[in-house]
Amino acid sequence: MSHPRLRTGILALAFALGCTAPAIAKDRHALWTIEGERNTVYLLGSIHVLRPGDGGLPPALQQAYADAEQLVMEIDFDDPAVADPVALLGAMRTAAALPPGTTLRAVLGPDLPLVESRLQEAGLDLDLFEGQAPWLLAVTLLQVELARRGFDPTLGTEQRLAAQAATDGKPIAGLETPAQQFGVLAGLSLPQQKRFLLMTLDETDDLDEQVDELLGAWRRGDVAGLARTLSDEYERFPELYGPLTVDRNRAWVPQIESLLDDADDYLVVVGALHLVGRDSVVDLLRQRGHQVEQQ
């Protein structure tokens, strides 16, 4: 992956699938609708990176895009700062800066040889990360491992829709900023960040099978399978996955509700694992009295 953005659902959540998804009706999708008084708001669960052979978006998702006059994504793809990968990487490294007097090698401690060896296998030099927090290593390693397997962020759901929106003149708004996304991981304690890094090293060993299972569940609209993925990861690392999922879901719901007061139809695109399970965006909206229907 070349685009240095925190990608909930791929970089942080989608690497510990340990169950076989049940059969689901073929016409189900990671797509939900809410009807306002004068409009429709579509909620689309995205996969942030895909491979050339994974194919295009299903027709139902394309139709939701066609119906919408405006798009809302996790971050605003119309923002020039988001479109500039150099500026975005700079912001990410700033967010990952260690406190003065703290070294990465000291934080890694006895796990330094393991981390350094895995970085070398990925073609990375630990010296490039001196002064940077362990979470940045974790994100970078996942980017490299996905890229080695042919995954490309320009083929992901958001990038495809954003490119089409630019052609069609459809505006895009963001639910949060990149700085807020980076701040989730930066807010972890250094021991928690180190644990996140070591989990990442462990989970990349069987990344191919895990991602294939995730993609299969997404394409089938297998809400139960996706929810189990989230539940498994939450149990392993609640101090990370709470802020990554539930806290952000709660911040997004009022923004999504406000769209129901408009006359325009909207397509809201967020990582698929934000829309499944307990305290998901869909669940929270239903708790607030909205009828949210899977398509």
Question: With contact defined as beta carbons under 8 Å apart, do 34 and 291 qualify?
Answer: yes
Cβ atoms 161, 58 nearer than 8 A: no
Give the pLDDT confidence score for residue 27 in this predicted structure: 63
pLDDT of res. 270? 95
CB 67, CB 40: distance < 8 Å: yes
Q: What is the pLDDT of residue 244?
A: 87
Length of the chain, please? Answer: 295
Helix axes 59-67, 157-168, angle to 10 degrees: 40
* 3-state SS, residue 152: strand
pLDDT of residue 80: 78
Alpha helix positions (H), 112-205: 112-121, 134-148, 157-168, 178-186, 190-203
280 token code pair: 């998901």
- HSE-CB at 112 with a 13 A cutoff on CA atoms is 12
Domain spans in the chain, listed from the N-terminal domain onward: 31-294
- Residues 146, 208 contacting (CB under 8 angstroms): no
How many angstroms separate the CA atoms of 83 and 288, rounded?
35
Q: What's the pLDDT score for residue 293? A: 96
User: Position of tokens 């798009």?
Assistant: 71
Identity of the residue numbered 41: V
DSSP for 217-270? Answer: HHHHT-HHHHHHHHHHHHHH-HHHHIIIIIIHHHHHHHHHHHHTTSSS-EEEEE
* Three-state secondary structure call for residue 149: coil
pLDDT for 86 equals 86
Running along the chain, 295 residues long, what does each successive block of 10 average in pLDDT? Answer: 34 30 54 96 91 84 96 89 82 94 96 95 93 95 89 87 95 94 92 92 79 84 84 79 91 98 97 92 97 96
pLDDT at 233: 74
User: CB within 8 A of 248, min separation 6: which ones?
Assistant: 8, 176, 184, 274
Specify the amino acid at residue 163. Answer: A
What is the rounded CA–CA span in Å between residue 61 and residue 267? 10
pTM of the shown model: 0.86
Specify the residue for token string 């942080």: 12
Q: What is the pLDDT of residue 4?
A: 33
The tokens of 80 are what?
Answer: 């020039």
- C-alpha neighbours within 13 Å on the C-beta side of residue 251: 15
